[in-house]
Chains A and B, each alone.
Chain A
Amino acid sequence: MTVAAPAMTSRGPERSRRRIKIPNERLFYAVLGFVGLLVVWEFASNFDLDPSTPGVQGLVKRILMSAPTLIWKAGVEDFSSGAIWPHITISLQEWFYGFIISCFLGISLGLSLGWFRRFRLATQPLVSALYSTPTIALFPLIVLIAGIGLESKVILVVLASIFAVIINTMVGVQSVSWKHLEIASSFGASQTQIVRSVVLPTTIPFILTGVRLAAGRSLVGVVVAEFQAANQGVGFYIALNGQTLNTARVFIGLVLLGGFGIFVGELVRLVENRFDAWRPSIHR
């Protein structure tokens, strides 16, 4: 009787399958995913089950889903006629004021909450309650107090975004290492020197995370405020065109908001990278 020897199989790290090497795989698939969905969308909206009623019996109803080409056409129209610019300007204004106020107020509040233990303890219940509240629920109240002008929208934007800054800054201050404080005091650093050489360098990355989050939440604030009480602004533009079944223009608004969100996010990320030179390999 012969004992069957176990078959030797090759086991490289790449088991099986040979592939075509794609130089920049990441980009390739990203473009594929992006363009692919647009093409499917376009095709689906043009594929009419009943050709006599175009856009009604399709795989997707064109009136509800629009189509990339329709959106493009409407976009060109609104930008060349200039009809959309007032909306963009007013939204930018609301966003900017709210965001800047949130950053300044949030950072200073966060620093003091992190640094002064008693202050933090005394305000803790209130801060965490407000942090858990969907602050945009306060908008009707804000309208009662501040009317429906720019002020009430800026206040809502601040409320929507400030807690991201406060909490992150506070956590940053609290994560200052005891050892680093000890070193500073060993070399006779003064209070200001301690803040400059230890507290701020530790806290800045946290602050920037807060700022990045706040940029996005400010945008949420802008949209909600404009949905509720406005006659101008990108949020209003979206809501109005939604109600009038002008779907392509709803998508234009969404593209504007998403594009702006990405732009601001990347901007803050650039700043973050600049402050992160001292950190090993956290560059994303």
Chain B
Amino acid sequence: MTAGTQMVAVTSNAERQRSRMPRWYRRREASILSFSGLAAFVIIWQLAADLKGLDFTFFFASPSGIIEAAGKEVQLPRFWDDVATSAWELLAGSGVALGLGVPIGLAIGWYRRVGFMFDPWLNFFNALPRIALLPLLVLWLGLGTEMKIAAVSLGAFFSIVVPTAQGVKTVDRNLLDVGRSMDASQGRIFTSIVLPATVPYIISGIRIAIGRGLIGVVVAEFYAQTKGIGVIIVKSQQALNSDRMLFGIILFTISGILLSYATSLLERRFQKWRPGQDMEE
């Protein structure tokens, strides 16, 4: 027996930190913090803009200025025309991307050799900022809506093809064996096993594609400068109207948020099979 040693009380080395805040606060801490964080940001921004000493508003606009600009803007028919244009570009472009991307992704995933053949080109286009194709699109399609739809769908297309092919490749082999053991035809196996298993992958592709599509809208409109929210932003810059410019940018933010919310609703609907992580690129 070791002599001279003695008993000591165990003290927790990971003493839990109890919040000393009142209970009503602890319950709603998340929303309280989020709200006050946002409120603080807006207030500080406004106060900074109101400091007359600095020539600040010229560059940064101010929350009140943006609201004012928005109020003026929404009364103009031209504004709604711009919004409709951008929305149509995004919608049609995404539609084209989805309509082409899903079948091609399925084919690449299902036919091994087709996949191999597409591999170098997919890798190339995946690594290439698709937006760099814009001058070519202008060359081919002009400055009109077609060009912008093409830009959007090029942006979104690869974000759909890659996860779709990935989804087909990772279909559970056991399920395929079940299908084969029941003598299901290739077509039946495809529609009853492969397709449903791939849907969640397609949706996570859509999530990424939305961001890419929005970038496509913005850059194409910046580039062509004919119509759309992007044009509002560029024209405001030229007119040094930073309030209206930020209003335009915020419109893109809002549509980004709304669309990604819509995707998460879609995702939740298919949660049962959802893959573990979003697959970017």
Binding site for B on A (CB under 8 A): 25-26, 28-30, 32-34, 36-37, 64, 118, 121-126, 128-130, 132-134, 136-141, 143-145, 164, 182, 185, 188, 209, 213, 216, 219-220, 222-224, 227-228, 235, 238-239, 241-243, 245, 247, 250, 253-254, 257-262, 265
Contact = CB atoms under 8 A, between A and B. Distances in A.
A220 B215 CA distance: 10
A36 B117 contact: yes
Interface string B51-73: 00000000110000000000000
Nearest to B130: A220
14 contacts: A25-B113, A37-B121, A118-B33, A121-B37, A133-B253, A134-B215, A134-B217, A136-B215, A138-B249, A144-B240, A188-B13, A238-B135, A258-B125, A258-B127
Interface in B1-48: 13-14, 29-30, 33-38, 40-41
Contact of B129 (A125, A182, A216): A216
Contacts of A124: 33-34, 37
Nearest to B58: A144
B56 to A, nearest CB: 11
A261 B36 CA distance: 41
- Provide the main secondary structure of the chain A interface: helix
A128 B117 CA distance: 38
B215 to A, nearest CB: 5
A144 B237 contact: yes
B129 A261 contact: yes
B252 A185 contact: no
A182 B14 CA distance: 9
B113 A227 contact: no
B124 A132 contact: no
B116 interface: yes
Contact of B127 (A36, A235, A261): A261
User: A33, A136, A259 — which one has the most chain B CB atoms within 10 A of its CB?
Assistant: A33
A238 B13 CA distance: 61
Interface string B112-139: 0100111111011111110111111011
Interface in B236-256: 236-237, 240, 242, 245-246, 248-249, 252-253, 256
Contacts of B126: 261
B143 to A, nearest CB: 11
Given A144-B237, A213-B280, A224-B219, A132 B30 contact: no
B219 to A, nearest CB: 6
